[in-house]
């Protein structure tokens, strides 16, 4: 007997936001497949989500509130009623506020669910409480800042326009792992004869689809873009008409910066040969409609914002923006599609509050004063695994005087350090609205199954906490569905012209883009701003990455079978990854006397992490690659890759520098 088919969305932090068809029988999801009617993802899912029902109905799901009984990190808990759990949290917070003030409480969340209501449910609550604010910058704010420095608020191109390009550059994006549906249009372009290049720091699985892979030294992407611009200018491969009418500051760039970025120098900075740099520039300059799909990884360096900014200048030099299939894409900004302020309610803030950068949680927990952090509330995030400088984070979480509450679906590394654990719904068990950041689709979905066990959504838990803390506003007493209805009742110019009937029934619909948007530049000057006087560096220029003193650059790469630390509860997916490998070039392994498959320790000043060595020519000399974020229980040692990543921030956007670390490697004794 077949079940009922219901629509939903993949809730994870991925640019695609796939549409899902969920088969439901007797209140259970029995099968999850891709929705063929989704305009961008077109019916396929990545390996992680093909059996999402195994995550939703996993025997490891947390189904009741818990109270810690053993030492922090031990995972020893006893059952608790919801009533008791909420009362304990509220009582402890009232006590902390009385003794230290509300800024002693720190929320910690990121993008465990991308649904706009559930993801942001904590904002109004913590604003009202007066808690410390979290600067949510772990992913790629430098990417956004680099784009904005040149493009302002200009709309990003429709990503499937790439199908009309004759030269596609996948720059720093392992699309096979992180943006698989962009490959639909890459394949279409290829079929029509386009050349596809991959520019990355090692041969990722995405090199399988590329005609040419150009391996650049970590942090050298901005230098490469400037080197290409040098050759474009030197060889008159410029669209002078476009530059004079639509671009601000090219002459300044040509006179002040580009003379210093000659191919020999760029070769030394990037590791690419002079011939490769000149070949790239000539091919790019002669292409009819070159398109660059820029990834996030190259923004996670000390020079990450400048890397992106320099790359985003390239289409301006050749006038690619006015050609169908030409341009650059770093992500869509669809914030204007919904009235976000009705969800986040910044107006609940009584005054200025301290801001804590989420990448520096280790510092905050161990060193912040006046007041110290006395309580941490974590929801849809796993900072013990995903936050840089894991040793400092765990040291902070071990503090006996820190009251930690974790709202989660599984007993993650972070949940093990909680005083109170609250069971969370999965995305199939609550309603929400979604907007993608890798395409222009939006979708609204309802819960398709009842909550598993006693689990509750973020919205419900914050409503309970608001009541227990005595917040009088009716806002906190409405349901998530009430709030969704309210948000959708507010018109937005971006949603004008969508297929309302389809949207109302839960189908993904695309936000329409205005005619000629690719040449309507929403910058202060109305032009593309190669020269941006508001920036610390008014012109794009070469900035070095942070680097370090150890001999190997550490790449913290995405896994095909996990998304950051999500999906690690699934043994079937962990088995696909086989083991926590450190990939190393054969020459480097030989020099060190290492053998493939043996246990090694990568180390730097922050800590040491055990890996299984995988020797492969896909990784260049001087680079080592660690794919995926593993839970501590699954690590060969008791630390995962973030014990090697630092709390330093990017040049723009205060982002993480997860790719900008060095290590040495030794045999494990």
CB of 549 to ligand SF4, least distance (A): 37
Q: How far apart are CA 36 and CA 172, in angstroms?
A: 29
Question: Which stretches of the chain bind ligand SF4, using CB under 6 A?
Answer: 10, 12, 14, 16-18, 45-46, 48-49, 180, 563
CB of 662 to ligand SF4, least distance (A): 30
CB of 181 to ligand SF4, least distance (A): 6
CB of 633 to ligand SF4, least distance (A): 23
Residue with smaller CB distance to ligand SF4, 34 or 249: 34
* Residue pointed to by tokens 């002040």: 256
The answer to whether 277 touches 268, Cβ cutoff 8 Å, is: no
- Conformation bin of residue 479: beta by default, left when phi > 0, alpha when psi is -120 to 50: beta
What is the helix, strand, coil percentage profile of the chain, to 5?
A: 35, 20, 45
CB of 441 to ligand SF4, least distance (A): 11
Residue with smaller CB distance to ligand SF4, 17 or 458: 17
Per DSSP (E only), the strands in 3-51 are 4-9, 19-25, 28-34
Residue with smaller CB distance to ligand SF4, 17 or 154: 17
Residue with smaller CB distance to ligand SF4, 261 or 442: 442
CB of 434 to ligand SF4, least distance (A): 10
Return the closest-CA partner of residue 453 out of 427, 423, 432.
423
Residue with smaller CB distance to ligand SF4, 114 or 600: 114
CB of 567 to ligand SF4, least distance (A): 9
The answer to whether 429 touches 444, Cβ cutoff 8 Å, is: no
Determine the straight-line distance between the first and last CA of the chain, rounded to whole angstroms. Answer: 57
Return the closest-CA partner of residue 285 out of 330, 246, 326.
326
User: Both tokens of residue 585?
Assistant: 């070039």
Residue with smaller CB distance to ligand SF4, 180 or 602: 180
Q: How far apart are CA 187 and CA 447, in angstroms?
A: 35
The answer to whether 230 touches 258, Cβ cutoff 8 Å, is: yes
The number of beta carbons lying within 10 Å of the beta carbon of residue 344 is 16
Rounded to 10 deg, the angle between the 221-234 and 304-318 helix axes is 20
Residue with smaller CB distance to ligand SF4, 10 or 464: 10
User: Both tokens of residue 569?
Assistant: 């509860």
**How far is residue 42 from each of residues 5, 19, 29, measured CA to CA in Å?**
17, 8, 21
The number of beta carbons lying within 10 Å of the beta carbon of residue 425 is 26
CB of 34 to ligand SF4, least distance (A): 7
CB of 206 to ligand SF4, least distance (A): 14
Q: How far apart are CA 573 and CA 47, in angstroms?
A: 8
CB of 9 to ligand SF4, least distance (A): 8
Report CA torsion sign: 397, 398, 404, 408.
Answer: positive
Residue with smaller CB distance to ligand SF4, 49 or 269: 49
Residue with smaller CB distance to ligand SF4, 216 or 563: 563
Residue with smaller CB distance to ligand SF4, 18 or 289: 18
């Amino acid at each position: 007997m077949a079940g009922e088919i219901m629509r939903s969305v993949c809730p994870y932090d991925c640019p695609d936001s796939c549409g899902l068809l969920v088969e439901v029988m007797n209140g259970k999801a029995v099968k999850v497949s891709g929705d063929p009617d989704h305009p961008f993802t077109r019916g396929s899912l990545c390996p992680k989500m093909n059996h999402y029902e195994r995550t939703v109905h996993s025997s490891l799901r947390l189904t009741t509130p818990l109270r810690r009984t053993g030492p922090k990190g031990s995972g020893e808990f006893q059952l608790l009623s919801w009533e008791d759990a909420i009362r304990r949290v509220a009582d402890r917070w009232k006590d902390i506020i009385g003794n230290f003030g509300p800024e002693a409480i720190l929320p910690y969340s990121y993008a465990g669910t991308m649904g706009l209501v559930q993801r942001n449910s904590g904002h109004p609550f913590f604003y009202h409480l007066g808690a410390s604010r979290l600067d949510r910058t772990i992913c790629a704010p430098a990417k956004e800042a680099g784009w904005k420095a040149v493009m302002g608020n200009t709309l990003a191109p429709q990503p499937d326009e790439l199908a009309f390009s004759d030269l596609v550059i996948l720059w720093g994006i392992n699309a096979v792992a992180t943006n698989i549906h962009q490959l639909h249009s890459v394949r279409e372009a290829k079929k029509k004869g386009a050349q596809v290049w991959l520019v990355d720091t090692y041969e990722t699985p995405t090199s399988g689809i590329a005609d040419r892979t150009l391996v650049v030294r970590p942090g050298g992407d901005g230098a490469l873009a400037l080197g290409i611009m040098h050759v474009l200018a030197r060889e008159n491969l410029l669209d002078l008409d476009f530059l004079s009418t639509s671009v601000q500051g090219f002459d300044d760039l040509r006179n002040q910066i580009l003379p210093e970025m000659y191919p020999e120098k760029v070769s030394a900075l990037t590791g690419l040969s002079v011939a490769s740099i000149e070949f790239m520039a000539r091919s790019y300059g002669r292409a009819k409609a070159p398109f660059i799909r820029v990834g996030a990884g190259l923004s996670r360096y000390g020079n990450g914002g400048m890397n992106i900014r320099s790359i985003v200048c390239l289409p301006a030099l050749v006038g690619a923006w006015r050609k169908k299939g030409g341009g650059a894409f770093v992500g869509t900004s669809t914030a204007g599609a919904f009235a976000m302020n009705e969800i986040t309610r910044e107006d609940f803030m009584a005054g200025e509050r301290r801001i804590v950068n989420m990448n520096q949680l280790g510092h905050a927990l161990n060193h912040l004063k006046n007041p110290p952090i006395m309580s941490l509330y974590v929801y849809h995030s796993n900072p013990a695994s995903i936050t840089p400088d894991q040793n400092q984070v765990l040291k902070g979480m071990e503090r006996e005087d820190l009251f930690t509450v974790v709202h989660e679906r599984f007993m993650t590394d972070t949940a093990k350090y909680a005083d109170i654990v609250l069971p969370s719904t999965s995305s199939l068990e609550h309603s929400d609205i979604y907007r993608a950041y890798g395409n222009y689709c939006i979708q609204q979905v309802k819960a398709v199954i009842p909550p598993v066990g006693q689990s509750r959504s973020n919205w419900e838990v914050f409503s309970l906490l608001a009541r227990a803390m005595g917040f009088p506003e009716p806002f906190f007493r409405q349901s998530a569905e009430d709030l969704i209805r309210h948000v959708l009742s507010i018109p937005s110019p971006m949603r004008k012209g969508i297929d309302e009937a389809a949207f109302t029934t839960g189908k993904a619909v695309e936000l329409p883009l205005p005619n000629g948007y690719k040449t309507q530049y929403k910058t202060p000057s109305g032009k593309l701003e190669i020269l941006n006087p508001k920036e610390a560096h008014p012109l794009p220029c070469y900035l070095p990455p942070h680097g370090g003193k150890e001999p190997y650059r550490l790449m913290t790469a995405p896994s095909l079978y996990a998304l950051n630390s999500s999906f690690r509860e699934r043994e079937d997916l962990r088995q696909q990854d086989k083991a926590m490998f450190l990939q190393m070039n054969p020459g480097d392994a030989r020099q060190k006397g290492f053998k493939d498959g043996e246990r090694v320790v990568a180390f730097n000043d922050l800590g040491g992490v055990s890996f299984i060595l995988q020797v492969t020519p896909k990784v260049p000399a001087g680079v080592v690659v660690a794919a995926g974020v593993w839970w501590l229980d699954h690590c060969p040692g008791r630390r995962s890759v973030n014990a090697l990543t630092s709390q330093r921030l990017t040049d723009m956007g205060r982002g993480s520098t997860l790719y900008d670390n060095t290590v040495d490697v030794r045999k494990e004794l």
